[in-house]
Amino acid sequence: MLRIASIGLGDIAQKAYLPILCSHPEVTPILCTRNTESLTALAKQHRVDECYSNLDSLILANPDAVMVHSSTESHYQLANTLIQNNIPVFIDKPISYNFDETKQIIELADSKNIPLFVGFNRRYAPLLVALKNNDFTNLRLQKNRADITGKARFFIMDDFIHVADTLLHFSQSNEINEFQVQTNWRDNELAALHVQWSNDNTHFQGSMNRVCGVTEERFEAFGQLQKWQIENLSHGAHYQKEKEDQLGFSDWDSTLLKRGFVDMIDDFILQVRKRNVDHEYLQGIFDTHSLCERIIKTAITQQPELRDRKKI
């Protein structure tokens, strides 16, 4: 059994991670949060015996790994401290809002040979995994929200990063050609974003509209004489020779399985058991954050306030 701790027991941890971790046959869960009321309640709910209210006590307990679900602003310090203490780390995306901090954490994990894992669940969503080994001419991912504008960095690093990572994960190369970014703004906040690039004869398109009145997600993959379309990671269709085959799950399959969380945690557990860094995986994580930083810098130049200043 692996003793795996969770730090930061907010909404995401409670909905997506604790239900899996606390019932996993290979895991003895540990909880850690400064909120003693929440700690007591969650320990009782999930029948967890080992709990801590601060990081120092947790580190002294020598867990096999730690999953960090605290605020993004706290990620760098927590990840740095844990890796320095030779503890494998799972961390919610992004690693940091600051690209230099992200780079430092990745390099530290690599140099110390300590597993570092980032919560990109779409890499493990079964309906997307099933498409991975096909040859595509065009990949398109649209992820929308009803009405949430935001500062460019937070818009991209908190949300659009899933789009960027999924498309890069399907790419056969980290080479990015014909790179373009288009933006729409509302009250000087980013409202919609479209990014595209190409490599190895494949065209990639990622879009996010956060003022379209609906929360939805659509992944489309085009190959020779066929097309796949996946809706909200839960159902879809494969089109070939004018025929349509439905793709989906049984009524008994959980939302966390459909969205990739179950298989993602299994993979993290496997990496912890191996106790070695996956260099290819770390490179992919770096590439995703690097692409997002490039998108941010391009998007900011299109901000109306900055454009207006240049006209003066």
Point out which residues pair with 216 in neighbouring strands: 144
Residues 156-188: tens digit of each pLDDT = 999 999 999 999 999 988 889 999 999 999 999
| Residue 33 is assigned to a structural domain of this protein | yes
Residue 309, pLDDT above cutoff 70: no
Based on the fold, state whether residues 196 and 101 are members of the same structural domain.
no
State which residues form the domain around 297: 122-259+292-305
Q: Residue 284 falls within a domain, yes or no?
A: no
CATH number reported for the structural domain that contains residue 95 in this entry: 3.40.50.720
Residues 166, 154 share a domain: yes
Domain count, the chain: 2
Cis, bond preceding 94 (omega within 30 deg of 0): yes
pLDDT digits (tens, 9 = 90+) for 12-33: 999 999 999 999 999 999 999 9
Instruction: Identify whether residues 198 and 60 lie together within a single domain.
Output: no
The pLDDT of residue 174 is: 83
- Cα 180 to the chain's mean position, in Å? 22
User: pLDDT tens-digit profile of 215-256?
Assistant: 999 999 999 999 999 999 999 999 999 999 999 999 999 999
State the pLDDT confidence band at 306, using cuts at 50, 70 and 90.
low
Q: In the numeric block, which tokens belong to residue 205?
A: 């398109």
Closest CA to 262 of 64, 132, 118, 121: 121
Are 230 and 86 members of one domain?
A: no
Work out the mean pLDDT of the chain and round it to a whole number: 96
